[in-house]
């Protein structure tokens, strides 16, 4: 009996390139959504961290710290590309 991953691989192998791109984008979105929830769950289970209740919603704005050099956010974005 084939595993679900094997079945998925065979099914994707039969799709057109256009359909494969749609499936790929869907799986990326699915992974990003799941990872965010997984991080909070792992932190909640770790006694070194306390995840406050009601963490959903917008975070408050903070004033950026001014310093020389490239912002860390830009460095992270470039590293992930």
What is the pTM (predicted TM-score) of this model? 0.37
pLDDT at 42 over 80: no
Q: How far apart are the first and last CA of the chain?
A: 38
Percent with pLDDT over 90 in the chain: 2
**Span 55-74, pLDDT tens digits:** 566 777 888 788 888 888 88
Helix residue ranges per DSSP H, 14-54: 17-45
pLDDT of the residue at 14: 92
Distance CA 35, CA 51 (A): 16
pLDDT of the residue at 54: 66
């Amino acid at each position: 009996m084939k595993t679900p991953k094997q079945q998925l691989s065979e099914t994707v192998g039969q799709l057109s390139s256009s359909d494969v791109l749609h499936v790929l984008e869907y799986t990326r979105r699915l992974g990003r959504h799941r990872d965010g929830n997984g991080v909070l769950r792992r932190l909640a289970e770790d006694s070194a961290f306390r995840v406050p209740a009601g963490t959903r919603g917008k975070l408050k704005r903070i004033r950026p710290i001014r310093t020389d050099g490239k912002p860390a956010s830009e460095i992270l974005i470039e590293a992930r590309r």
